[in-house]
Amino acid sequence: MSQEQRDALDHLLRDGPLDLGGDVVEQRVIFEEMMAAIPVPADVTTSPGSLGGIPVVNVQIAGADHASVIFYLHGGAYAIGSAASSVGLASDLARRAGARLVSVDYRLAPEHPYPAAIDDAVAAYRGLLDAGIAASAIAIAGESAGAGLAAATLAALKPAGLPQPCAAVLMSPWADLTLSGESIKTKASVDPALTPEGLHRRAIDYVPAGDRRAEFLSPIFADLTGLPPLLIQAGSHEILLDDATRLAARAAAADVAVRLEITPRVPHVFQGFAAILDEGDIALTKAGEFLRAHLAVQHP
């Protein structure tokens, strides 16, 4: 683990053109251009698809198990990002898990406010089951808002009468749209990627009116009883640190098997920088091993 690597990443994020709280149309273009500049590895193939009427991108890694599926929800504060732009991080996770992956193109705010994203996630998950994939052969994963959406989806599967997947990996989850965590303030000076103002603007886009404590909006307020084993990862240099720690505590109190990994002095979704940050590489490997172990129970 290198201080030089962490410093270089901090400068890269602080000096980058992306402004999460900026004009949403402009930021979508900037984000997609940034992601498009990162080459997809040669062993990764992608194809468009649909699950439950929701567009998805199918991601296949050469040699990966076709029977196991990672159901992936991308980040972007519910307003930017796409299934296609998530392929870099998602495929790296899938490679380490030895599974194929589907990334969901859920609708984005402000054009499609709550509950559009959660409705799409549940519909796509139902579509995966309807395609003949057993819930025991599915794991769910996501980063940032996608990780919060993944946790909310798990909670929403219960009243929908749908079975839980075998496990979930939540990377830097945005799990509280009320922004009530203390780290929103205490970590603001060391977080190079997120700002309280930016998250507040995107929260208003997604929930222009209503209670942001609703369980399928902010899963730290949800009934987490009956959820599958969770791996929650976050960096100590992110304003959403308390979202990860409180979600883990809530899950543990609900008798959920939960593993919380906090990596010191790294930023939001540091796993996405595994190619240049040792801590990201280690965390992503652990996430892949966690998914591989739970998916392997169904395919010994």
Token pair in block for residue 226: 């009956």
Q: Tell the burial category of 102 from Cβ atoms under 10 Å away from its Cβ (0-12, 13-18, 19+).
A: buried
Name the active-site residue from 144, 172, 183, 218.
Answer: 144
Active site residue 268: yes
Active site residue 238: yes
φ/ψ of 163, rounded to 5, equals -70, 150
Query: Residues near 204 by Cβ (< 8 Å), separated by ≥ 6?
Result: none
Name the active-site residue from 82, 268, 279, 294.
Answer: 268
Task: Convert 131-198 into a string of H (helix), E (strand) and C (coil).
Answer: CCCCHHHEEEEEECHHHHHHHHHHHHHCCCCCCCCCEEEEECCCCCCCCCCCHHHHCCCCCCCCCHHH
Q: How far is residue 95 from each of residues 2, 63, 98, 231, 280, measured CA to CA in Å?
A: 25, 9, 5, 17, 15
Alpha helices in 37-115 (DSSP H): 87-97
| Nearest alpha carbon to residue 174 among 150, 196, 144 | 144
Under 8 Å between Cβ of 287 and 98: no
Name the active-site residue from 86, 238, 279, 294.
Answer: 238
φ/ψ of 92, rounded to 5, equals -65, -40
| Nearest alpha carbon to residue 60 among 94, 88, 89, 106 | 94
User: CA 115 to CA 224: how far, in whole Å?
Assistant: 19
Token pair in block for residue 29: 């273009």
Give me the active site residues, please.
144, 238, 268
